[in-house]
Chains A and B, each alone.
Chain A
Amino acid sequence: MSATVIMRATAASDPSPAREAPIPRTRRPRYWVRNVVVETLCLALGFVLIIWSLMPIYNMIMIALSEHGDVFSGDIWPHHPSFQSFVIVWTEGFWYLARFWEQFGNSFFVGLMTMFMTLLIGSLTSFTIGRLRLRHGWLLTNAALLTYVIPASFLAIPFYRIMQIYGMGDNRWSVIAAMVTFATPYAIFIFQQYGKSIPMELDESARMDGATPLQIYVRIYLPLMAPALVAVGTYALLLAWNEYLYQFLLLSSPDVMTVPVALAQFLNSDESPWNYMMATAIVYALPPIIMYYTFRRYMAAGLTMGGVKG
Chain B
Amino acid sequence: MSSTQQTLAAGRPMAANRPWRPVWPGGLPIGWRGSEFCWAIAFLVPYLAVFLAFVVYPVAFGLWMGGKPELYAELAADPLYVHTVVNTLLFVGIGVNVKMFLAFLLSGYFTSRSRWIRALLVLYMLPWALPAIPAFLAVHWMLVGKWGFLNSLLETVFGIEGPIWFNSYWLALGANILAYIWKWMPFWTLIFMAGRMAIPRDIYEAADVDGATPVRRFVYVTFPLLAGLYLICTLLSTVWMIGDFTTVYFVSGGAPALTTEVLATLGMHEAFDSGNPPLGVAAVMSALPLLIPLTIVLMRKVHVSGVQL
Interface residues of A (CB under 8 A from B): 1, 4-5, 7-8, 23-27, 42, 45-46, 49-50, 52-60, 62-63, 72-76, 120-122, 124-125, 127-128, 132-135, 140, 142-147, 149-159, 161-162, 166, 177-178, 180-181, 184, 188-190, 193, 200-201, 204, 212-214, 217, 241-242, 244-245, 249, 260, 263-264, 274, 277-278, 281-282, 284-285, 288-289, 292-293, 296, 300, 303-310
Contacts and interface: CB of A to CB of B under 8 A. Distances in A.
Contacts of B199: 310
Interface string B180-218: 001000110011001100110010011011110100000
Interface string B26-69: 00001010011001100110110011011101110110010000
Interface residues of B, number: 113
Interface in B124-174: 124-135, 137-139, 141-142, 145-153, 155-157
A310 to B, nearest CB: 5
B62 A155 contact: yes
Interface of B: 15, 22, 24-25, 30, 32, 35-36, 39-40, 43-44, 46-47, 50-51, 53-55, 57-59, 61-62, 65, 106, 109, 112, 114, 116-117, 120, 122-135, 137-139, 141-142, 145-153, 155-157, 182, 186-187, 190-191, 194-195, 198-199, 202, 205-206, 208-211, 213, 225-226, 228-229, 236, 239-240, 242-246, 264, 267-268, 271-272, 277, 280-281, 284-285, 287, 291, 295, 298-299, 302, 305-309
A264 B250 CA distance: 9
B134 A27 contact: no
Contacts of A149: 236, 239, 295, 298-299
Given A146-B299, A212-B35, A153 B149 contact: no
Contacts of A178: 54
A309 B134 contact: no
B109 A140 contact: no
Q: Is the interface of A mostly helix, strand, loop or mixed?
A: helix
B33 to A, nearest CB: 10
B54 A303 contact: no
Contacts of A54: 123, 126
Contact of A263 (B133, B138, B236): B133
A143 B133 CA distance: 30
A26 B51 CA distance: 61
Contacts of A52: 182
Q: Which residue, B15, B35, B47, B245, has most C-beta atoms of chain A within 10 A?
A: B47
Nearest to A51: B153
Nearest to A61: B138
Contacts of B149: 55, 58-59, 62, 76
Contact of B44 (A125, A154, A241): A125
A270 B84 CA distance: 26
Contacts of B205: 4-5, 8
Given A24-B209, A128-B44, A157-B65, 16 more contacts: A55-B150, A56-B127, A76-B157, A125-B44, A132-B36, A147-B55, A150-B59, A153-B268, A154-B243, A157-B281, A158-B62, A181-B54, A241-B131, A263-B137, A285-B130, A303-B187
Contacts of B285: 154
Contacts of A122: 47
Contact of A152 (B114, B187, B243, B305): B243
B147 A74 contact: yes
A285 B65 CA distance: 37
A155 B135 contact: no
Given A157-B65, A158-B59, A72 B145 contact: yes
Contacts of A161: 61, 65, 277
Contacts of A133: 22, 30
A56 B291 CA distance: 32
A177 B54 CA distance: 7
A306 B306 contact: yes
B152 A132 contact: no
B107 to A, nearest CB: 11
Nearest to A147: B55
Question: What 5 pairs between A and B have smallest CB-CB spacing?
Answer: A151-B243, A281-B134, A158-B62, A304-B194, A292-B129
Given A23-B209, A142-B299, A189-B308, A53 B198 contact: no
A208 to B, nearest CB: 11
A188 B272 CA distance: 33
